[in-house]
């Protein structure tokens, strides 16, 4: 009966109820959509620059991250790899040897990041095969290289040409070599695409004169959100006097800072939106209560407890919220899916600033249940708070005075 | 006959303005089971205040109201609401039906609050609707009923839970003479058939003429109490 009264009550003033429901729907759409864009962009940034490149956790010689020279690389051994693999949620380890070299072709020269990789194992991580736009992917025994498309454009080098690399090898030895270009690939992060040269790990070790050498052991795990736990567990099982595991947050503090800063800005905007909605709901519930005081007084007079009246009023708020939230979800889900499949492509200065972070200048959304749940809880809480005063006024209802209205 | 309601040295003084107003000024009254009584008097004589005190809607300044042996001043606010639900029926001047409920739902509202079984509710409402002569309008909301029909539904609501007595404050004030006559006929019939006590606050002569007992108030005091022989 209480629920029936509440349901019919909210439709007594259809226009007002529809406006209130619309404002709640709008809040859900705006909040969830904005947060989905934010989180989608962050996820893309992290995936581009972390998930598909550095990995969420890496193990190095303990001083390597502060001083990234090849001399701080390590001669990898089975024990270290075994210890890392023994940690829960670790699915594999990719070995990389990387250092900077000067690349030259024709009259063009450019500083590059030369990365020795296991071409087969990195298929899972870097997924380089899928990024090939010209030529062929390298195999473990090859003596050729593949390079980023922007670097190739800069050097005006093509598949079949030979790239000269000049750098410094292990312990000050010269690293000089000429390598045929087997293929050109397009890395999603433009900054990386502009400077990357991949070669098989064995070839890199030979080029840098570093037998069994690696600079990074990239930890493979599907549990990207468990990075800190995995890092702690690895550090607990390896010899930390020699090695150190670090998370992507430590590897890319600028990105973390950018994300956190942006997140605060976004949340502030949504908070303002929530405040407006809260006042809207407060106004509606207060009006609905005030204009029916006489009716409520009659109900109390004939035997309805005030707590039951409060329950009816509470149901009214819940019903309006639920309709608003359900409509909001129905509208938002397809929008999020659409913009996830067809992300907004940025242009101009905004695109350039994003590219500088090594991220594709696109704004994808992400369909994440937690975004819906969090925002729905927030809306329920603020509308719940908004209806406290009207509910309390019911508890203080003076029957005689209200009957005289 | 058994006394259902009794007042002892009842006072209600309003001190909200600078002038103290004694709306009820030492009233001793009792009403027995099955009475059909009218409290009458000029505007401001204290009729409505007395009715509110009898119904436990207002608290006396001093004195007591005893309903079926219970001094209602000893009840807490929650207990008083439950007491009203189980013992007192109300009929208001402006009908005061719940606009979002149908005639039937309005009439069975108190029985709902009392958690009475559906079968019992349906049987009682069917019986009452037949008695008040608005069969066929059970599923209509109050806004589509005439004033007289709304007041009849209000009477059905007041009677549905079989209270000890019914308090009716100017129940005919908004009705035309035809609707008034019909309503009074119905109430009188129910009074006789169900032996339920009706107490009216009114200055409508048509009500006064039909009352078996008339209590005259002036300045908050009973100046005459006349019972039909």
The residues near B149 (Cβ < 8 Å, ≥ 6 apart) are B103, B134, B137
The residues near A189 (Cβ < 8 Å, ≥ 6 apart) are A48, A49, A53, A358, A359, A360
Token duo for residue B128 = 């009452």
Give first-to-last CA distance, chain A, whole Å: 26
Token duo for residue A355 = 């590219």
d(C-alpha B60, C-alpha B40), whole Å: 20
d(C-alpha A189, C-alpha A50), whole Å: 10
Tell me whether residue A230 is exposed, middle or buried, using C-beta atoms within 10 angstroms of its C-beta: 0 to 12, 13 to 18, 19 or more.
buried
- pLDDT at position B76: 92
The pLDDT mean for chain A works out to 88
Question: CB of B181 within 8 A of CB of B189?
Answer: no
Lowest mean pLDDT among A166-170, A343-347, B59-63, B206-210: A343-347
- pLDDT at position A146: 96
- Measured between beta carbons, the chain B residues lying within 8 angstroms of A400 are 52, 57-58
Q: Is residue A357 scored above 70 in pLDDT?
A: no
What confidence tens digit (pLDDT) does each residue in B194-213 have?
888 999 999 889 889 989 99
Question: CB of A198 within 8 A of CB of A138?
Answer: yes
Q: What is the largest CA-CA distance in chain A?
A: 99
Report the percentage of chain B scoring pLDDT > 90: 48
- pLDDT at position B181: 87
Question: CB of A281 within 8 A of CB of A387?
Answer: yes
Q: Is residue A249 scored above 70 in pLDDT?
A: yes
So what's the ipTM on this one?
0.90
- pLDDT at position A355: 67
CATH label of the domain that carries residue B128: 3.40.50.300
- pLDDT at position A264: 86
Strand B88-91 to A362-363 pairing: unpaired
* Segments forming the whole domain that contains residue B128: 3-227
- pLDDT at position A144: 95
> Of the candidates A363, A314, A330, which has an alpha carbon nearest to the alpha carbon of residue A28?
A330
d(C-alpha A175, C-alpha A103), whole Å: 12
**Nearest residue, CB atoms, B84 vs list A294, A303, A306:** A303
> Of the candidates A165, A196, A180, which has an alpha carbon nearest to the alpha carbon of residue A103?
A165
Directed axis angle between helix A14-46 and helix A306-341, to 10°? 40
**Nearest residue, CB atoms, A298 vs list B55, B92, B114:** B92
Element at B224 (helix H, strand E): strand B221-227
Return the CA Rg of chain A: 30
DSSP state of A8: H
- CA distances (Å), A361 to each of A143, A190, A357, in order? 34, 9, 10
Question: CB of B126 within 8 A of CB of B99?
Answer: no
- pLDDT at position A350: 77
- pLDDT at position B182: 85
Q: Is A397 on the interface with B (CB under 8 A)?
A: no
d(C-alpha B57, C-alpha B52), whole Å: 5
DSSP state of A54: I
| Three-state DSSP class for residue A136 | coil
The full set of domain ranges for chain A reads: 2-49+255-403, 57-220
What confidence tens digit (pLDDT) does each residue in A288-316 have?
888 888 889 999 999 999 999 889 888 98
d(C-alpha B180, C-alpha B191), whole Å: 16
- CA distances (Å), A404 to each of A401, B172, B217, in order? 5, 17, 21
Q: Is residue B45 scored above 70 in pLDDT?
A: yes
Q: Which of residues 163-222 of B touch A (CB under 8 A)?
A: none
pTM score, two decimals? 0.72
The residues near A330 (Cβ < 8 Å, ≥ 6 apart) are none
Directed axis angle between helix A253-290 and helix A14-46, to 10°? 170
The pLDDT mean for chain B works out to 89
- pLDDT at position B162: 86
- Measured between beta carbons, the chain B residues lying within 8 angstroms of A396 are none
- CA distances (Å), A235 to each of A225, A227, A249, in order? 17, 12, 16
HSE toward the beta carbon, residue A58, CA cutoff 13 A = 27
- Measured between beta carbons, the chain B residues lying within 8 angstroms of A306 are 81
Q: Is A1 on the interface with B (CB under 8 A)?
A: yes
The angle formed by the CA atoms of residues A200, A203 and A205, to the nearest 5 degrees, is 110
Q: Is A287 on the interface with B (CB under 8 A)?
A: no
**Nearest residue, CB atoms, A8 vs list B96, B100, B109:** B100
DSSP string, A280-333: HHHHHHHHHHHTTHHHHHHHHHHT--HHHHHHHHHHHHHHHHHHHHHHHHHHHH
d(C-alpha A176, C-alpha B65), whole Å: 110
d(C-alpha A60, C-alpha A70), whole Å: 11
d(C-alpha B24, C-alpha B13), whole Å: 7
Q: Tokens 């493979």 appear where?
A: A220
Lowest mean pLDDT among A133-142, B59-68, B177-186: B177-186
d(C-alpha B113, C-alpha A305), whole Å: 9
d(C-alpha A60, C-alpha A240), whole Å: 10
- Measured between beta carbons, the chain B residues lying within 8 angstroms of A298 are 90, 92, 96, 98
Lowest mean pLDDT among A44-48, A113-117, B1-5: A44-48
- pLDDT at position B229: 60
Domain count, chain B: 1
**Nearest residue, CB atoms, A303 vs list B52, B82, B92:** B82
Q: What share of chain B is helix, strand, coil (3-state, %, to 5)?
A: 40, 30, 35
Q: Is residue A385 scored above 70 in pLDDT?
A: yes
- Measured between beta carbons, the chain A residues lying within 8 angstroms of B112 are 1
Confidence of residue A255 (pLDDT cuts 50, 70, 90): confident
The angle formed by the CA atoms of residues B44, B47 and B48, to the nearest 5 degrees, is 95
Tell me whether residue B227 is exposed, middle or buried, using C-beta atoms within 10 angstroms of its C-beta: 0 to 12, 13 to 18, 19 or more.
exposed
Q: Is residue A326 scored above 90 in pLDDT?
A: yes
What confidence tens digit (pLDDT) does each residue in A141-171 have?
899 999 999 999 999 999 999 999 999 988 8
Helices (H) and strands (E) in chain A, counts: 17, 14
Contact A5 B113 (CB under 8 A): no
Confidence of residue A43 (pLDDT cuts 50, 70, 90): confident
**Nearest residue, CB atoms, A300 vs list B81, B99, B114:** B81
Strand B88-91 to B165-169 pairing: parallel
């Amino acid at each position: 009966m209480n629920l029936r009264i509440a349901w019919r009550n909210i439709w007594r003033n259809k226009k007002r109820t529809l406006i209130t429901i619309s404002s709640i729907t709008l809040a859900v759409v705006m909040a969830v959509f904005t947060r989905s864009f934010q989180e989608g962009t962050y996820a893309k940034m992290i995936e581009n620059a972390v998930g598909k490149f550095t990995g969420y956790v890496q193990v190095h010689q303990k001083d390597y991250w502060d001083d990234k020279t090849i001399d701080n690389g390590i001669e990898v051994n089975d024990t270290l790899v075994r210890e890392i693999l023994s940690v829960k949620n670790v699915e594999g380890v990719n070995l990389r040897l990387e250092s900077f070299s000067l690349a030259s072709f024709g009259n063009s020269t450019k500083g590059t990041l030369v990365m020795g990789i296991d071409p087969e194992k990195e298929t899972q991580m870097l997924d380089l095969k899928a990024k090939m736009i010209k030529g062929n992917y390298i195999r473990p025994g090859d003596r050729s290289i593949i390079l980023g498309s922007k670097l190739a454009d800069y050097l005006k080098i093509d598949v079949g040409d030979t790239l000269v690399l000049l750098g410094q090898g292990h312990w000050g030895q010269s690293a000089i070599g000429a390598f045929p270009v087997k293929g050109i690939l397009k890395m999603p992060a433009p900054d990386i695409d502009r400077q990357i040269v991949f070669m098989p790990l064995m070839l890199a070790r030979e080029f840098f004169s570093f037998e069994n050498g690696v600079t990074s052991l990239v930890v493979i795990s599907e549990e990207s959100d468990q990075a800190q736990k995995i890092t702690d567990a690895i550090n607990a099982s390896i010899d930390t006097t020699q090695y150190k595991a670090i998370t992507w947050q430590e590897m890319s503090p600028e990105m973390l800072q950018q994300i956190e800063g942006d997140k605060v800005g976004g949340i502030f905007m949504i908070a303002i939106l929530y405040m407006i909605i809260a006042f809207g709901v407060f106004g509606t519930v207060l009006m609905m209560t005030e204009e029916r005081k006489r009716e409520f007084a009659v109900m109390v007079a004939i035997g309805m407890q005030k707590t039951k009246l409060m329950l009816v009023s509470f149901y009214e708020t819940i019903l309006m919220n639920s309709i608003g939230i359900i409509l909001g979800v129905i509208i938002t889900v397809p929008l999020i899916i659409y913009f996830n499949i067809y992300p907004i492509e940025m242009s101009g200065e905004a695109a350039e600033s994003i590219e500088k972070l090594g991220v594709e200048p696109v704004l994808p959304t992400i369909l994440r249940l937690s975004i819906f749940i969090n925002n729905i809880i927030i809306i329920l809480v603020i509308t719940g708070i908004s209806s406290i005063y009207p509910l309390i006024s019911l508890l203080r209802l003076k029957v005689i005075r209200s009957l005289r209205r | 006959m058994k006394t259902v309601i009794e007042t002892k040295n009842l006072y209600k003084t309003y001190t909200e303005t600078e002038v103290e107003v004694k709306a009820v000024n030492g009233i001793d009254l009792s009403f027995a089971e099955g009475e059909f009584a009218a409290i009458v008097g000029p505007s401001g004589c204290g009729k409505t205040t007395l009715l509110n005190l009898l119904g436990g809607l207002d608290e006396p300044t001093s004195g007591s109201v005893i309903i079926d042996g219970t001094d209602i001043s000893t009840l807490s606010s929650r207990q008083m609401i439950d007491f009203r639900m189980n013992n007192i029926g109300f009929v208001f001047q402006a009908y005061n039906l719940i606009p979002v409920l149908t005639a039937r739902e309005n009439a069975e509202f108190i029985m709902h609050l009392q958690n009475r079984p559906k079968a019992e509710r349906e049987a009682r409402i069917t019986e009452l609707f037949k008695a008040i002569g608005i069969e066929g309008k059970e599923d209509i909301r109050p806004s589509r009923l005439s004033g007289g029909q709304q007041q009849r539904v209000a009477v059905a609501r007041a009677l549905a839970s079989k209270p000890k007595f019914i308090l009716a404050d100017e129940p005919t004030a908004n009705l035309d003479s035809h609707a008034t006559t019909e309503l009074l006929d119905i109430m009188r019939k129910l009074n006789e058939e169900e032996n339920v006590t009706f107490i009216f606050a009114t200055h409508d002569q048509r009500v006064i003429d039909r009352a078996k007992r008339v209590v005259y108030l002036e300045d908050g005091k009973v100046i005459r109490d006349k019972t039909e022989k």
